[in-house]
Amino acid sequence: EPEVTQTPSHQVTQMGQEVILRCVPISNHLYFYWYRQILGQKVEFLVSFYNNEISEKSEIFDDQFSVERPDGSNFTLKIRSTKLEDSAMYFCASSAIRQGGGMNTEAFFGQGTRLTVV
């Protein structure tokens, strides 16, 4: 069964360092998302991406964050200068059709990357 894959599963980084989290969405999906979950808290939306551009982003997704689809299969989240509060589980998701677009389609999530900023 197709699945969203994320690498690495766990990343430890020094505060102020840049990190890139990688995702391979399901191959025929067109919409891609990043969410994060701080330990013990809700899963929060960060950004959605379609047709090589950001379609929506939350307040969390500030200038420290960027996303890219460098080739036909990968979707990356870059955090330019990590802060302690960026420590969280980051989930990539993809869907065939845009969520909330009046169409009914599931969003499939990867296993997540646990980012620990020290």
Partner 1 sequence: SQQGEEDPQALSIQEGENATMNCSYKTSINNLQWYRQNSGRGLVHLILIRSNEREKHSGRLRVTLDTSKKSSSLLITASRAADTASYFCATDGGGYSTLTFGKGTMLLVSP
Binding positions for partner 1, rule: CB under 8 A? 31, 33, 35, 41-45, 48, 50, 55-56, 58, 89, 91, 93, 98-112, 114
CA angle (71 as vertex; 63, 7 as ends), nearest 5: 70
**Residue number, 25 or 112, with CB nearest to partner 1:** 112
Task: Name the minimum Å distance from CB 51 to partner 1.
Answer: 12
Nearer to partner 1, 39 or 84 (CB): 39
Instruction: Answer for the pair 110, 91: CB distance below 8 angstroms, yes or no.
Output: yes
Q: Say if CB 78 and CB 20 are below 8 A apart.
A: yes
